[in-house]
Every structure is written in structure tokens, then in C-alpha cells.
Amino acid sequence: METRPRRERGILRREPVRFGRSVLGAPLDVWEPDRAASDLLVLAGTHGEEGEGVAVLSAALRSLPDGALACPVVLALNPDGLARGTRGNARGVDLNRNFPSPTWRPEPVYTRWTLADERDVELSPGAAPGSEPETAALLELIARVRPSLVLSLHAPLACVDDPAGTPLGAWLAEQGDLPRVGDVGYPTPGSLGTWGAEHEIAVVTYELPAASTDDLVRRHAPHLCAVLAGETPTR
Ligand SMILES: [Zn+2]
């Protein structure tokens, strides 16, 4: 694929569609495909302290020439968390524990201050499954788009979590030089991946390694660009 010249990559050259609003009223935007619907949805920015995933996915999207986008793209599922630098949304909810799975638990969620620390930072899974506007909006978007596969960018665990064993997961692990794993090593009740598995939607979690945004864009944006162009296997 011929990518867009770099001088033209400074802005997003297509208009998104609004699919909801955050707790604080920020727009939840999806960039719709230029071509016929694909079975893949790509998203980033579920955790607000993982802005590098948003930057890498944005770089991939801005590298695409006109007419080449083959799947819907959500750059920032948690705009309030991204604006505030918090993992959770504006109510302190870890959105990746708020999906309406039977595994959802009402107990607090514990996360790490940094990767080297214990899990001792408390967040909420929400007042109820699917309680947060960001989660509810994504579920409505998924119901409309009906993907069979969701690719979700996170950081910094440096792996491709692909419990369904998809061709896309295998391809991404090879391209990104990351291990492909069947789980992230700890329970994730109420996560998008758990909910997806219950609804026959394979969720591939692309965990970027701990590195500078500059390094990550150089190393990972090119193959994510190929994913957005529909040039890769899916499932
Ligand atoms: Zn994350």
C-alpha cells in the first residue's frame, strides 16, 4: 500500500461520527471505513494513562491514503481519563472491568501505580455492569457494526493477548515481535475480552511494550496501518 506523504499526516483528514459522550460530555468518535464494512473494529484509549496507544493508532490512521480505511476506528474510548491522565474514567471506573459479563464483580479493582509495583491502587468496576456511558456507547457501536473481531490497544505489557487464536493475533505478534499469549496472567472479570468471548466476538489485545511514543510509532504504526487498510488476515 502506498502510504500518505508525511507532510499530509499532520491532521486527521476524515471526519468521525459521534457514537456517544463521556461522563464529562467529551465526544466519543468513530472513524468509519471508506469501503464496505469489515468484520474488524479497532480501538485504543480505554485506559487513560496509556496515551501512547492513542498516538500510535492515530499515526497509523493518519498514514492511510484517502479511501483506504477498511474498518471502524475508535481512537479514544476514555477521553476523560486521557485528558486527566487517569486509568479510569472521570468517576474512577476501570472501563475494562465494566462490561456486562456474568464475570463482573462489584468489588474494587486494584491496579499498579507503575509496572514495577504491587496492585494497590484502587479503582471501581462501576456501580453495575455496563454502568458507564463510555462502555454503553461502545456496546451500542458494536451492536451496530457487528464485528467478529475487536483489536484493542493497551500498554505496557509487551504481548499480544489472543485467547481465540486468530490469524490477526498471530500476524500482529510476528510483526510486532511480541509474544502471543492466551491470557495476561491475572483474572479480568468484566473486561471487553471476557464479554466478547461470551458473544462470539474475538478480542485481540495488543499490549505495546514500555517505550517512548516515538519508538512505538516507528516500530508499530506501520503494521497497524496495514491492519486498518484491511491488508492483513482477521479470523
Ligand atoms: Zn490498558
Domains of the chain (ranges, CATH numbers):
6-228 (3.40.630.10)
Tell me the CA–centroid distance for residue 7 and ligand 1, in Å: 31
Strand ordering across the sheet containing 73-74: 73-74, 40-43, 149-154, 202-209, 157-161, 180-181
- The overall pTM is greater than 0.85: yes
In the chain, count of helices (H) and strands (E)?
6, 10
CA 173 to ligand 1 center in whole angstroms: 17
What does the pLDDT average to over 211-223? Answer: 98
* Residue 235 pLDDT > 80: no
pLDDT reported for residue 187: 85
C-alpha 134 – ligand 1 centre gap (Å): 15
| Model pLDDT for residues 89-118, shown as the tens digit of each residue | 999 999 999 999 999 999 999 999 999 999
Q: Note the pLDDT of residue 124.
A: 98
CA 5 to centroid of ligand 1, rounded, Å: 31
User: What are the residue numbers of the active site?
Assistant: 207
pLDDT band at 213 (very low <50, low <70, confident <90, very high): very high
What confidence score (pLDDT) does residue 1 get? 82
Quote the pLDDT of residue 36.
73
pLDDT over threshold 90, residue 138: yes
